[in-house]
Amino acid sequence: MKVISGSSSHMLSSALAKQLDSPIVRTENKRFPDGEKYVRILEPLDDEEVILVSNTYPDEMIVETLLLCDAIEEFNYRKLTLVIPYFGYARQDKKFNDGEPISARALVRAVEVYPDLVLTVDIHTDSIIDWFETSEARNVCGANDMARKLKEIGVDFVVSPDEGRMKTAEKVGKSVGVPSDYLVKERIDGNTVKVEPKSIAVAGKRVAIIDDIISTGGTIVTAASELKKHGASQVIAACTHGLFASNAIDRLSKCCDMIISSDTIENNKTAFSVAPAIAKEIA
Ligand code: R5P
């Protein structure tokens, strides 16, 4: 088995290679003068089971992922598993207005051409997996990896900012060994969310708010304020995919005592790896 890393997944690929006790294949990655990408695989892959770890975010990674898949296709490999740690465009999983694309489905159709197996991690909507037709696809749950980190940090309570993530909060809470609950969120627009007032027993507690994605930080900022109103002594914001768009970190830092994300998107808040969960699915 050999691991190939897309240029935005070096941290996760190394952690995964270690978990799988497999080498990382050397690649070349540069741009042509006009800005187009160039990739090259520098070691043979014949008869190998290949694990390619590559995001579909940001946009340029869609192209790089496809180019790497195509380069792999030129070898007589045994099996290609494409791990997409952060499946970009998953939040446009339906048409909100006439004339819009179903962006998540468009991405599925683009990437499924090459791999035998696609693994996503905490994909925004589970049902996106059902759109894969030509390759097998499964979503990997990063809850245990997040829980391991929260246990190390020490939290007393786990909360999801909306009912949709309640099951994940339950799973993380159970794994940490603390209670969990959820808030009721209403999204007003891309930048604004409202959290319904709700009685929640967090007074004097170190509370982790967990979400799949932090983008603008609007969801977590609103939820953290609500938890502090209920007397939470500390709020820890934890997510799988830390997009941290525009000034999200500044906004989050004002109301959260700690911000952590996984290595699906590498950034300076990356505090835990989802490699163990992915390795378990591959092994
Ligand atoms: C929404 O359903 C997701 O689970 C996240 O809560 C959302 O994408 C976070 O976005 P933002 O950080 O911009 O509020």
The DSSP-derived string for 93-136 is -S-SSTT---HHHHHHHHHTTS-SEEEEES-SSGGGGGG--SSE
Assess whether pLDDT exceeds 90 at residue 23: yes
Q: How far is the CA of 210 from the centre of ligand 1 (A)?
A: 11
Domain co-membership, 59 together with 10: yes
Q: For 144-199, where are the E strands, in sequence order? A: 157-160, 180-182, 184-187, 193-196
Tell whether 283 is covered by a domain: no
Domain co-membership, 48 together with 171: no
pLDDT band at 190 (very low <50, low <70, confident <90, very high): confident
Q: How far is the CA of 200 from the centre of ligand 1 (A)?
A: 21
Instruction: Give how many domains the chain has, as a whole number.
Output: 2
Ligand 1, atom nearest to 214 Cα: 12
Ligand 1, atom nearest to 212 Cα: 4
- Residues in CB range of 97: below 8 A, 6 or more apart: none
Domain co-membership, 122 together with 42: yes
Domain co-membership, 97 together with 212: no
Name the residue among 219, 253, 238 with its Cα closest to residue 154. Answer: 238
What tens digit of pLDDT does each residue of 98-121 get?
A: 999 999 999 999 999 999 999 999
Ligand 1 atom 7: the closest Cα is on which residue? 213
User: 98: exposed, middle or buried (C-beta count within 10 Å: 0-12, 13-18, 19+)?
Assistant: exposed
Is 185 a residue of the active site? yes
Domain co-membership, 9 together with 114: yes
Ligand 1, atom nearest to 216 Cα: 13
Enter the tokens of residue 69: 């898949």
Domain co-membership, 31 together with 115: yes
Assess whether pLDDT exceeds 90 at residue 185: no
Average pLDDT over residues 55-81: 98
Domain co-membership, 171 together with 261: yes
Domain co-membership, 118 together with 153: no
Domain co-membership, 166 together with 67: no
Assess whether pLDDT exceeds 80 at residue 266: yes
The fraction of the chain above a pLDDT of 90, given in percent, is 93
Sheet with 270-272, strands from edge to edge, namely 180-182, 157-160, 206-214, 234-242, 258-262, 270-272
- The last residue of one of the domains, among 84, 105, 140, is 140
Name the residue among 133, 30, 23, 116 with its Cα closest to residue 73. Answer: 116
pLDDT value of residue 16: 98
CATH number of the domain within which 173 lies: 3.40.50.2020
What is the model's pTM? 0.96
Name the residue among 168, 167, 201, 165 with its Cα closest to residue 184. Answer: 165
Ligand 1, atom nearest to 219 Cα: 14
Catalytic residue among 2, 149, 185, 205: 185
Ligand 1 atom 5: the closest Cα is on which residue? 213
pLDDT value of residue 6: 98
Ligand 1, atom nearest to 191 Cα: 13
- The last residue of one of the domains, among 81, 115, 140, is 140
Q: Which residues line ligand 1 (CB under 6 A)?
A: 161, 193, 211-219
Tell whether 102 is covered by a domain: yes
Probe ligand 1: pick from 219, 243, 244, 264, max atoms within 8 Å of CB?
219
Tell whether 70 is covered by a domain: yes
What tens digit of pLDDT does each residue of 243-257 get?
A: 999 899 999 999 999
pLDDT value of residue 39: 98
Probe ligand 1: pick from 91, 92, 184, 213, max atoms within 8 Å of CB?
213
Domain co-membership, 111 together with 52: yes
- The last residue of one of the domains, among 114, 140, 166, is 140
Give me the half-sphere count of Cα atoms (radius 13 Å) on the Cβ side of residue 53. Answer: 28
- Residue 62 CB coordination number (10 Å): 18
Tell whether 166 is covered by a domain: yes
Q: How far is the CA of 205 from the centre of ligand 1 (A)?
A: 24
Q: How far is the CA of 190 from the centre of ligand 1 (A)?
A: 9
pLDDT band at 45 (very low <50, low <70, confident <90, very high): very high
Ligand 1 atom 8: the closest Cα is on which residue? 213
Domain co-membership, 181 together with 231: yes
Tell whether 279 is covered by a domain: no
Assess whether pLDDT exceeds 90 at residue 199: no
Q: How far is the CA of 218 from the centre of ligand 1 (A)?
A: 7
Domain co-membership, 48 together with 16: yes
At what angle are helices 248-255 and 218-229 packed, to 10 degrees? 10
Q: How far is the CA of 155 from the centre of ligand 1 (A)?
A: 22
Average pLDDT over residues 78-97: 97
Domain that holds residue 164: 143-272
